[in-house]
Amino acid sequence: MKMRRIDHIVLIVSDLEAARRFYHEVFDMPVLDDQTNDHVVTLRCGHQLIRLQSVNRPSDQLQAKNPTVGAADLCLVSGDDPKEALHHFKSYYVDVVEGPVTKYGSEGEMQSIYLRDPDQNLIEVSFYKNK
């Protein structure tokens, strides 16, 4: 079986509203209200989705065996300029952990800026040249 792409990822969060605000406001990800409820917020990220799942979601629902807050490490690709992104993060009082630094992703060389979300997940924001 050949996989074609990732459809969505799920991040376990301690405060659903704080996480929703962070991803919606800092990264301008639209919230999909028709896929959002008391325990899950769904956001669009390009052609994929990010689902924020409350750590307090009822255990009788289908989910990871050991939902853990702050254990994710993911990379988001931006179409902006890294210098503009640094200014944007500063305007939202988001601390940059590292960057811009040169890294390599699925499309080759890129510049990356690292930061943490409210649950301390490591978020790499990457910028490909001419993409």
Question: In terms of Cα–Cα distance, which of 38, 1, 22, 7 is closest to 119?
Answer: 22
d(CA 15, CA 22): 11
Instruction: Answer whether 0.95 is exceeded by the pTM.
Output: no
Active site residue 124: yes
d(CA 41, CA 22): 12
- Six-digit token pair at 24? 């919606």
Neighbouring residues of 19: CB distance < 8 A, sequence distance ≥ 6 = 11, 13, 41, 52, 117, 118, 119
* Inside any domain, residue 76: yes
Q: Are 111 and 99 in contact (CB under 8 A)?
A: yes
- Tens place of pLDDT per residue across the chain (131 aa): 998 999 999 999 999 999 999 999 999 999 999 999 999 999 999 999 999 999 988 777 788 888 999 999 999 999 999 999 999 999 999 999 999 999 999 999 999 999 999 999 999 999 998 75
**Domain containing residue 93:** 71-131
Q: Are residues 75 and 129 in the same domain?
A: yes
Domain total in the chain: 2
**Whole-Å CA distances, 106 to 37, 67, 113:** 33, 27, 16
Q: Are residues 77 and 128 in the same domain?
A: yes
Beta strands 40-45 and 48-54, pairing class: antiparallel
Question: In terms of Cα–Cα distance, which of 32, 31, 76, 69 is closest to 53?
Answer: 69
Q: Is the C-alpha dihedral spanning 62, 68, 69, 71 positive or negative?
A: negative
Q: Which one of 17, 107, 109, 124 is the catalytic residue?
A: 124
Tell me, what CATH number does 82's domain have?
A: 3.10.180.10
Q: Are residues 101 and 124 in the same domain?
A: yes
